[in-house]
Structure 1
């Protein structure tokens, strides 16, 4: 029988439920358990596709074309497992299925209610495709007490009741704030958070207290006493300077051993093999080089908008014994390009900041600066050369109704162009930077875009760009600037295929080129 672990949060959001879920999954997988993660999001959107990056952070793309929460990036980067769009359960999807069932007469005229009808759909989606798993981890979005989260908490309670106490565990994260004026950590927010969860029928198996610093053990003992949780199951999770240290912290505090004990699984027979994570952390702390990368983003005010790009940089740099400093460039404020070793021009939608991005691309082209352009970045790479080198009035049909449409819709037969999304094949030119980086004939990479380079104008660029990657249908996937040591653009998002165990080859090549030039 598959065992279930539900991860909830209280007091405030952004306590790290996603990283906690990923860390616990990493530890369980390192012990030989077959484990996967699902995310239960209470919002009414069907997915994250139309959510603002300013409010929600990046949209992570699964291999099967799911537009899902950024936490899925942590799941994949920590475990190496590939997520599916079916692993993302939102209220929008749940209610869409509910109304479909009603229209098909499946409820036989009954009054449709949150309990049992909504909770039943949630339970069915949670338990779907778990036959080959030892343990499924379910992160419930939001905080305990949120009105929209109540059906998910109730579904988690029902699963615990139906499966039996030894088959379901609950991890609860709370805030343990330090009040400077009082000079002490305050336990009441945690106590009230647990009280709220218990009032909904769930007693935490493990309580993780988030704090800015270390806390005396006596504080945790008092929390254990007041919440009726075993003392050894109340653990501290202080702020760390890297999310990759969190699994090690949880291993030391016996989070997983307490869960396995509750689930009647013998943790003593399976010790976690964390050698590769330890090696990664050692390199992270004992770097030999430092570089500065300029990131020219559209949503720089919220760093989570580029979370996967930032993590892919960390993965590649760490394996090359390098520490990277990120300089966020908002060119509308006239920031300087000085003392930057390389540039990344990431993806985005809409025309805000386009001219400023092309200014950075022109600077890199004219000064032989290492530059990596991703998705929209690659499209702007072509537009910049067309306008400033070839003298063409080149535009993207995403931004303009007239001009030479060098960048055109994937499918221009519809009012809203079709989106190319998910994992697609790319054929690599072996005689290229990309060919040296991948050392493969074909690769699978993840896409999320409605526009791409117009093949009608390919001949105009043949002497300027080397096409180093194509889709089987001949669409352009990777281009490189001829005569430049490292200036490369991809139509896909390589950052979604990077992990601390396996850095993406293009990010590794990008950083290695900067180190070689230094």
Structure 2
């Protein structure tokens, strides 16, 4: 929806509301909640914000994500400072007022704000947020506000009929909060028919042309085109009393979608990680931003990137042969924490190095690449990372000094150095060449950094950019593409 409104000339931003008590998503297990999205200003956010950025073309700040934990934390801090002047601080109005303040703050400088309240209609934890947005509608005027219900229409396999009852129940429960959807977007396996639309219209009192079909698509990037096929953008603007500022031009977007659907080329990439399997299922959302980066790169080169997710433990346990990796065009090891499962991942990294398979290590993957190189090339057989063994004398990757006190006090939440930072890249390196080709260099932000000498004289890796906070390593002569 934000992409569509942007095509009509309106500067649109998005706010994601997560009703959990956690302050942010930083301490949530990827296998439970999916990947943590890190914003440019260092926020640790629900992965949905990453999708917002990809569609809107914006770098959204951390304050565009609200959690119950943040709201209560702010209100309690203000109460402790005496800012409420002796009032009895309560969910209404103090909590709901803070919710409204945060939403208004996020919307400054934009024409339209999309507010997503996460969870399911009927969740108790959503009550304050529903009350707050209903209050905002009253305060700014209903002509400047509209409600969209995203609902799912299941097709039970033993029945074979699309069911509308969950949608009808959702609208009924919303009405108990004084919220009546202006639009209902219906997620389903296939397009909803007129019979189903009529049922929803009667039960929800929503015009049939405001009941929008959103069937399963090959890619999420098909969705704006599907919604626009029912003129959702114009209908939303009409409800808000706005006229289109621009005529949407979907030609470039359609080309990107065509490339993602029907690419000329195809490659296979192995993603070797820790947070891959949970029970009998694979949770690829644990690395969704890496996944989407590969999709985007593939579209740019008119290439489909087939990603195979591999749990590194399978190599260590002998459940999977390392030779299996030979059929891939490249191997990526994404982020993770802790020593569990690290040996299997390092086996994959060693195989990539010894067999000249293009390799990219991100964060945790870079750590393990350094440890693997130290063990098997530099001859430091007991090389490790301080993250895995803090008492080892053969640590080739060490914890930042600024983090030691944090870890000693078990302050894990909100303690990492995160976000976008300027970096200095060494000349005549592949990584510098790649950034130059993509136009991502900003020389005005470059600073000179002192290289840190490794304590083990026998161990040297090609250092492209290295200071106490930032590391990029490149192994010379190793095939990259």
Normalising by structure 2, we get a TM-score of 0.90
Aligned residue among 385, 403, 421 for 1:396: 385
Q: Does 1:362 align with 2:362?
A: no
The whole-number CA distance in structure 2 between the counterparts of 1:197 and 1:415 is: 44
Cα deviation digits, residues 120-179 of structure 1 (max 9, x gap): 110011111533211011111111110000100110101111111110111101111113
- Matches of 1:194 and 1:332, distance apart in 2: 46
Deviation of 1:240 (Å) = 0.8
- Residue number in structure 2 paired with 1:94: 71
Equivalent residue, structure 2, for 1:245: 222
Q: Which has the higher mean CA deviation after the structures are superposed, 301-310 or 337-346?
A: 337-346
Distance in 1, matches of 2:268 and 2:62, equals 35
Q: How many angstroms does 1:94 deviate by?
A: 0.5
- Map 1:70-81 → 2, pairs under 5 A: 70-81=47-58
Distance in 1 (alpha carbons) for counterparts of 2:206 and 2:100: 26
2:309 alignment counterpart: 328
Does the 8 Å contact 2:134/2:178 carry over to 1? yes
The 1:483/1:474 distance shift into structure 2, 3 A limit, reads: same
Q: 1:156 matched to which residue of 2?
A: 133
Seen in structure 2, the aligned counterparts of structure 1 residues 415 and 154 have a Cα distance that, compared at 3 Å, is closer
In the TM superposition, residue 254 of structure 1 has moved relative to its aligned partner by 1.9
Please tell me the root mean square deviation across aligned C-alpha atoms, in Å: 1.9
**1:296-339: CA deviation from partner (whole Å, max 9, x where unpaired):** 01111211000000000000011111111111112323223242
Q: How does 1:97-496 map to 2 (within 5 A)?
A: 97-267=74-244, 269-301=245-277, 302-333=283-314, 334-335=319-320, 336-392=324-380, 393-400=382-389, 401-411=391-401, 413-416=404-407, 419-439=416-436, 442=441, 455-457=453-455, 460-462=458-460, 465-470=461-466, 473=467, 477-486=471-480
CA–CA separation in structure 1 for the residues paired with 2:452 and 2:338 = 18
Matches of 2:378 and 2:108, distance apart in 1: 58
Q: How far apart, CA to CA, are the structure 2 residues paired with 1:331 and 1:297?
A: 6
Encode CA deviations 1:20-74: one digit per residue, 9 max, x unaligned. xxxx111111221111111111111110111111111011001111011101100
**Corresponding residue for residue 7 of structure 2:** 30
Unaligned 5+ runs, structure 1 = 1-23, 445-452, 487-512, 514-518
Aligned residues: 451
In 2 relative to 1, CA 441–143 (structure 1 residues): closer, same or farther, beyond 3 Å?
A: closer
Q: What SS does the corresponding residue of 1:421 show, helix, strand or coil?
A: coil
1:329 aligns to what SS in structure 2?
Answer: strand
Distance 1:459 1:479, change over 3 A: farther
1:425 and 1:442 in contact (8 A); partners too:
no
Q: Is the 8 A contact 1:25 1:137 kept in 2?
A: yes
SS at the partner of 1:468? Answer: strand
Q: TM-score, normalised by structure 1?
A: 0.84
How do residues 1-20 of structure 1 correspond to structure 2 at under 5 angstroms? none
In structure 2, runs of 5+ residues without a counterpart are 278-282, 409-414, 444-450
For 1:130 and 1:227, how far apart are their aligned partners in 2?
A: 29
Q: Which of 47, 56, 68 is 2:33 aligned to?
A: 56
Distance in 1 between residues matched to 2:107 and 2:308, nearest whole Å: 43
Counterpart contact for 1:427–1:441, Cα < 8 Å: no
Give the Cα separation in 1 of the matches to 2:43 and 2:249. 31
CA distance in 2, matches of 1:441, 1:477: 18
Is the CA contact 2:346–2:369 (under 8 Å) kept in the aligned structure 1? Answer: yes
SS at match of 2:454: helix
Distance 1:44 1:399, change over 3 A: same
Alignment check: 8 A CA contact 1:173 1:209 kept: yes
The answer to whether the Cα contact below 8 Å between 1:455 and 1:475 also exists between their aligned partners in 2 is no
Residue 397 of structure 1: CA displacement? 0.8
Contact 1:428 1:442 in 2 (8 A): no
The alignment partner of 1:311 has SS state of: helix
How far has the Cα of 1:476 moved from its partner?
A: 5.1
Determine the C-alpha separation between the residues in 2 that align with 1:327 and 1:39. 30
In the TM superposition, what whole-angstrom CA distance separates every residue of 1:247-268 from its partner, at most 9, and x where no partner exists? 111111222222111100113x
Shift in CA distance, 390/351, structure 1 to aligned 2, threshold 3 Å: same
Tell me, what secondary structure is at the counterpart of 1:314?
helix
